[in-house]
Structure 1
Amino acid sequence: MRNGDATTIDVPATSADAKGKAPAGAAPIVATTKATKYAKGGWRRGMAIFDFILRLGAIGATLGATATMGTTEQTLPFFTQFFQFQASYDDMPTFTFFVIANAIASGYLFLSLPFSIFTIVRPHAVGARLLLLILDTAMLAMTTAAAAAAAAIVYLAHDGNSSANWNAICQQFTDFCQQASSAVVASFIAVVVFMLLIVMSALAMRKH
């Protein structure tokens, strides 16, 4: 007989019972399923906690990429203050898009923290995980596009392109290129974290 989370198994009478020699006070065997339910919810809660930690790390990566690229500029010293060469991130639309995309990703990750906490409290909740899965996928696409485009510009700044007559400027603007390269690396770290978040959300939404 099944009652709530407990399953009662009736033990059939033995030959000793038939003769009236069964020991008094014999009780039915009770098997509970609560431990199984807790075990199933435990790994989901663990993944939800790891999801929250990864989001904190991604916030650091995207904020670092935004701040680093947003402050990237360098002015080369020359003989007079009226004749100078300056390189700034906003001189290139690709770097401007990079800053905007990573700033949006930072804001989204911060706003997603309450939903991540909710999945820790309710590990079996599907709606919150599905919402995070959809939005994480959108942020992954945007962050990947921004990081890849910026990486192409940084590559040209380091090596140039003789066929297109593009000179490598990193020999002169060393600080500018170092900051831009660091920002791109931080953004790609955020891309990897988004990929992990998506995989974890998909696994947590499985029924078994």
Structure 2
Amino acid sequence: MTNGESSMAIEVPEEQARREAKGKAPLLIAGGTRKHQRAAGGGWKKGVAIIDFILRLGATAAALGAAASMGTSDETLPFFTQFFQFQASYDDLPTFTFFVIAMAIVGGYLVLSLPFSIVTIVRPRATGPRVLLLALDTVALTLTTSAAAAGAAIVYLAHNGDPSANWLAICQQYGDFCQEVSGAVVSSFVAVAIFMSLIVFSAFALRKRH
């Protein structure tokens, strides 16, 4: 080995020692650690986004199913006269009409929100679509809850009546009608539960990862 090669072999470890003394080597290690943390953060956020998309599909089916079931609820009793026909339909009650409109709006919103949910899967670290979905989901949850609660109150009266107000229970006569509207109300409460889960997952994904 020549003197030039010997001096180069000595200078390399000395240069590395000086870099470590100045704190440059630990910075490289810390930078690598931060990259791994960012990758891990994007991984679990992508998982949350996939769950969000699946839940939205379920909420869409529940909301549109509730609107369709209530909107097609109709029953005519077999006995009627020339002047009177005993029929029960959802549009006989303004509460059920509001229920159909509200659930149709919620179902339409959920369909339109699916592309934004896909964006959060492709870009799991993007906060804009998540914030937008969180705000709109809160509004949709309020509308769904009000429609479900109002429909449940009328269904309760249809099943049990109110003797103090002389309201008779009609489900003994209109069994099919009551079964359809009851199923619609149950489906709306399923949508409420899914919306609550969506809001929780969105808030969880938006929190800062330390």
Same fold (TM over 0.5): yes
Shift of 1:73: 0.7
Tell me the secondary structure at the aligned position of residue 163 of structure 1: helix
Shift of 1:11: 6.8
Cα separation, 2, equivalents of 1:69 and 1:50: 29
Aligned to 1:64: 65
Q: Structure 1 residue 109 and structure 2 residue 110: aligned? A: yes
Q: Structure 1 residue 150 and structure 2 residue 148: aligned? A: no
Cα separation, 1, equivalents of 2:76 and 2:96: 17
| Comparing 184-193 and 33-42, the one that deviates more | 33-42
Cα separation, 2, equivalents of 1:160 and 1:127: 49
Higher strand share: 1
Preserved CA contact (<8 Å) 2:162 2:168? yes
| Comparing 112-121 and 31-40, the one that deviates more | 31-40
TM-align CA RMSD: 1.7
Name the amino acid aligned to 2:126: A
Aligned to 2:48: 47
After superposition, the Cα gap between the structure-2 partners of 1:116 and 1:79, relative to the gap in structure 1 and judged at 3 Å, is closer
Higher helix share: 2
Deviations 1:131-185 (A, max 9, x none): 1011000000000000000000000000000001100000000000000000000
Preserved CA contact (<8 Å) 2:80 2:86? no
| TM-score scaled by length of structure 1 | 0.84
Shift of 1:54: 0.3
Counterpart mapping for 1:133-172 below 5 A: 133-172=134-173
Name the amino acid aligned to 1:193: I
Counterpart mapping for 1:76-155 below 5 A: 76-78=77-79, 80=81, 82-155=83-156
Cα separation, 2, equivalents of 1:79 and 1:38: 70
Name the amino acid aligned to 1:119: T
Shift of 1:81: 5.5
Cα separation, 1, equivalents of 2:80 and 2:47: 62
Shift of 1:37: 1.6
After superposition, the Cα gap between the structure-2 partners of 1:79 and 1:126, relative to the gap in structure 1 and judged at 3 Å, is closer
After superposition, the Cα gap between the structure-2 partners of 1:79 and 1:176, relative to the gap in structure 1 and judged at 3 Å, is closer
Cα separation, 1, equivalents of 2:137 and 2:38: 29
Cα separation, 1, equivalents of 2:131 and 2:80: 60
Total equivalences in the alignment: 185
Cα separation, 2, equivalents of 1:11 and 1:161: 87
Cα separation, 2, equivalents of 1:198 and 1:81: 54
| Comparing 158-167 and 28-37, the one that deviates more | 28-37
Q: Structure 1 residue 190 and structure 2 residue 186: aligned? A: no
| TM-score scaled by length of structure 2 | 0.84
Name the amino acid aligned to 2:89: S
Shift of 1:84: 2.0
Shift of 1:12: 4.5
| Ranges in structure 2 where 5+ consecutive residues have no aligned partner | 1-14, 19-24
After superposition, the Cα gap between the structure-2 partners of 1:131 and 1:71, relative to the gap in structure 1 and judged at 3 Å, is same
Aligned to 2:4: none
After superposition, the Cα gap between the structure-2 partners of 1:73 and 1:38, relative to the gap in structure 1 and judged at 3 Å, is same
